[in-house]
Structures are given as structure tokens and as C-alpha cells.
């Protein structure tokens, strides 16, 4: 990775912050950009939904690789597409205008696959998103590929599956359950939640960081790369493991409005391509629970 100048967008986010730290720990010239101002000389403040601000920061940094993480979920449709699609278009177009265009790793989402046939999604699975977030991420990925093909930019779309981090927002199932558990004390605690029988491919945030970092050393990039474990874990088993971490007995209260949210019974990623790159992730319900509950469990959940 020596000699690489990177620019991480969304650098203060759940993935961006640890990624930036990891790159700097490896002595890379790693710049970050977000809407939040910092005092670090390698951190830049810009609104990437503004093409002028985007072009300005990319021209100033002149990176050799852009890791585009900016985006996220929003209940407002306009803001959702602005954060995910518009920022991606602005970043790719600004990169294409440089004399030596940088390579781009763009972080998409497993939500782009929707409800895959048989509950397993490989990189060649058809993209049929069933949520507005998935549709926004697919639009961003599609436009990134269009601009890449037209400009010759080297591009990899990385699609993480269900990311697990102690910083998950309470709008996610795991984040909601963690918040409820941590807000209570004592042996007996109550968690109000939706379905616990769904099976998902849960991926520790530090494994996502590791994959993104390792791609910088790779001479060949796949067009699309799933970041997954290839193993399904039932949501309820993680709740039980979190309770065990807290030495608590948990009573589950079913929330009808959460149960009614449409959700596939199973979504697991095909990790074959990831394994060919020498990258493996084998989390368990217990290791994921420790990551959610314990402050110093970051290395044990892979």
C-alpha cells in the first residue's frame, strides 16, 4: 500500500472512521471528507451532494484511490437519493476529470439483491431490491459503472451484508435491541422487537474495514464483491447471546408494527469470490454479541 494517497468519503461514519484510522496506522496518506469539520490537516469538510464542493476536494487531494462510503439510510426519499446516488455521481464525475483519474472502491449494499432466490446471493445474482434504500444503492452502483465504463476509471462495487458494530443506529434491529438492553439494569430486562427467526449474514465492521484495506494491495479487482461470511445466523440467537454477556434474563415483547415490516426469511451472501482473494469471516452469535456489548471485543468477531 506504500505510495498510495487515499480519500475516504463519509470518513466520520460507522465504517469510514475505523477505515481511516486503519489506513493511517499503516502509514498511508489517508485523507477523509465528510460534512463534519475536524482539526486534522488530512480531514476535509465538504457536502458531496454539491458537485462544486466535490470537485474541489477531489482536485485538492488528487488521490490515487477513492474509497466512497458516503451515503446511508433516510426516511425522506429525496434525502435518501441525494445521499447515495447524487454523491456517487458527483464523486465519479469529479474523479474522471482529473488528469490521472483515481481508482474507486464504492460501497454499495446487499440490499441491492433484495430477496434472492434460495436465500443466497452471489455477485452474479440479479439485483431486485425490495426497499427504497436498496433501490437507491442499486441506482448509485449502476451509475458508477456507467461513468467508469465511459471514463476508464478502475472501479469495484463492494456490497457488505448485515454490518455489526457497537455504533449501529437504533433504526436497525440489532441496534434497537442493544439500546434497549443497555438502557436497563439488573437481572431482568425487557426487549420490544419484531421477528427473531430471520436468518442473516452478519459481518463485523472491522472485517469490512479489512476487506477495503486489502483491496488496495490487490492488482485485480472484481467488478462486484460481496463482503459476507457465507454463514447464516438467526437474529434471536444474537439477542440471547447479548443477554448472556450482560448476565441478564430477557423477556421479549412482540411489537406488531415491527413484525409487520416485510422481511425475507433468509439472506446469506456467497463468499466464494471473497475466499479466492484470501479473505475469510467466521462470526458466531457469541462473538457478534460481544462486539455489540463489550467495548474491547473488536478483534474476536471475525
CA–CA gap between residue 90 and residue 109 (Å, rounded):
19
Q: Which pLDDT tens digit goes with each residue over 225-267?
A: 999 999 999 999 999 999 999 999 999 999 998 988 888 899 9
For residue 155, the model assigns a pLDDT of 98
For residue 39, the model assigns a pLDDT of 77
What would the DSSP string read from start to end of 65-94?
A: EEEE------SSHHHHHIIIIIHHHHHHHH
For residue 235, the model assigns a pLDDT of 97
Average pLDDT over residues 163-179: 94
Domain ranges for the chain, please list them: 5-160, 164-200+231-268+282-293
pLDDT at residue 117 greater than cutoff 60: yes
Options 2.50.20.10, 3.90.79.10, 3.40.50.300, 3.40.50.720; CATH for 5-160 is: 3.40.50.720
CA–CA gap between residue 202 and residue 210 (Å, rounded):
15
For residue 41, the model assigns a pLDDT of 85
pLDDT at residue 136 greater than cutoff 90: yes
For residue 302, the model assigns a pLDDT of 62
For residue 182, the model assigns a pLDDT of 95
CB contact set of 163 (below 8 Å; sequence gap of 6+): 14, 15, 202, 203, 204, 205, 208
Q: What is the CATH number of domain 164-200+231-268+282-293?
A: 3.90.25
Q: Which pLDDT tens digit goes with each residue over 65-98?
A: 999 999 999 989 999 999 999 999 999 999 999 9
The count of other CB atoms within 10 Å of the CB of residue 170 is 12
Question: Of the candidates 45, 10, 144, 168, which has an alpha carbon nearest to the alpha carbon of residue 86?
Answer: 144
CA–CA gap between residue 173 and residue 187 (Å, rounded):
22
The count of other CB atoms within 10 Å of the CB of residue 112 is 26
Amino acid at each position: 500500500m506504500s505510495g498510495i494517497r487515499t480519500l475516504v468519503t463519509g470518513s466520520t461514519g460507522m465504517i469510514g472512521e475505523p477505515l481511516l484510522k486503519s489506513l493511517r496506522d499503516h502509514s498511508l496518506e489517508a485523507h477523509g471528507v465528510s460534512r463534519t469539520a475536524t482539526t486534522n490537516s488530512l480531514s476535509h469538510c465538504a457536502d458531496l451532494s454539491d458537485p462544486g464542493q466535490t470537485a474541489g476536494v477531489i482536485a485538492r487531494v488528487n488521490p490515487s484511490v477513492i474509497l466512497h462510503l458516503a451515503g446511508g439510510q433516510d426516511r425522506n426519499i429525496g434525502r435518501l437519493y441525494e445521499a447515495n446516488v447524487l454523491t456517487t455521481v458527483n464523486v465519479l464525475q469529479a474523479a474522471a476529470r482529473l488528469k490521472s483519474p483515481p481508482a474507486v472502491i464504492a460501497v454499495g449494499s446487499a440490499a441491492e439483491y433484495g430477496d434472492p432466490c434460495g436465500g443466497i446471493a452471489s455477485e452474479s445474482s440479479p439485483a431486485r431490491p425490495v426497499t427504497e434504500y436498496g433501490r437507491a444503492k442499486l441506482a448509485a452502483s449502476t451509475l458508477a459503472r456507467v461513468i467508469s465504463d465511459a471514463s476508464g476509471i478502475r472501479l469495484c462495487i463492494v456490497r457488505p451484508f448485515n454490518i455489526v458494530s457497537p455504533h449501529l443506529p437504533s433504526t436497525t434491529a440489532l441496534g434497537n435491541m442493544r439500546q434497549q438492553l443497555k438502557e436497563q439494569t439488573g437481572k431482568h430486562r425487557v426487549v420490544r422487537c419484531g421477528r427473531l427467526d430471520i436468518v442473516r449474514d452478519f459481518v463485523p465492521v472491522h472485517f469490512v474495514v479489512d476487506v477495503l484495506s486489502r483491496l488496495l494491495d490487490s492488482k485485480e479487482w472484481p467488478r462486484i464483491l460481496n463482503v459476507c461470511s457465507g454463514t447464516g445466523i438467526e437474529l434471536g440467537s444474537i439477542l440471547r447471546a447479548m443477554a448472556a454477556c450482560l448476565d441478564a434474563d430477557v423477556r421479549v415483547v412482540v411489537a406488531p408494527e415491527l413484525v409487520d415490516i416485510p422481511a425475507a426469511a433468509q439472506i446469506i451472501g456467497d463468499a466464494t469470490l471473497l475466499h479466492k482473494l484470501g479473505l475469510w469471516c467466521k462470526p458466531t452469535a457469541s462473538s457478534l454479541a460481544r462486539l455489540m456489548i463489550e467495548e474491547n471485543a473488536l478483534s474476536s468477531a471475525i
